[in-house]
Amino acid sequence: MREAARSTERNLLWIALLTVATVLATGVFACAVPFAALAAVAALDSDRTDGILLLGTIWLTNQVVGFGFLGYPLEAQAFAWGLAMGLGTLAAYFAARAGVAALSASGVIAVIGAALPIAFLAYQAVLYATGLVLPNGEGAFGYRVLAYVGLVEVVAYIVLLTAHRLAVSAGLLQPNTVEPV
């Protein structure tokens, strides 16, 4: 019983840390918040319920900061793009979870190396499909934009994996499912 409570505390701590990081990232990157990197890390680290809770909290925090403090336009298309980002984040998470499960026998390097590209492609696919329907999406898929977003995702993924490893070493979090103990 005590171990279950400690595990819940650790999960809530991780959610809180990532939520704070999202607030900071929203202020810096606005629409380039690394949702695919967050989804990939969640796929490595969370069961389905915790992963959805984590990503839902992060997405909602991003939307509140964006619309409440950064002046995102209060327009239907802006809300729809926000919703698409949330759906894209969930698609990225489930795609990365499937990739982690499929590659688990291939070793930790393969799993960690594949989780982000899988999540990124799933996230971008949802945004691309949204851009076919909603206005203001035509500039989101140019080479420069995708290169920038991809770089943000890679850097964030490395930082998140490192932060997780440091938190595990400090005894604040449990190792994730693929991380050596």
Task: Tell which residue, 129, 110, 112, has the closest CA to residue 121.
Answer: 129
∠8-171-98 over CA atoms, to 5°? 60
Decide: helix, strand or coil at residue 157. Answer: helix
Residues of the chain with pLDDT under 70: 1-11, 25-32, 136-140, 176-181
- Judged by DSSP in three states, 135 sits in coil
Phi, psi angle pair for 61, to nearest 5°: -60, -45
Q: State the burial class of residue 57 (Cβ atoms within 10 Å of its Cβ: 0-12, 13-18, 19+).
A: middle
pLDDT score at 176:
66
| pLDDT score at 72 | 86
- Determine the pLDDT at residue 117: 98
Distance CA 33, CA 63 (A): 11
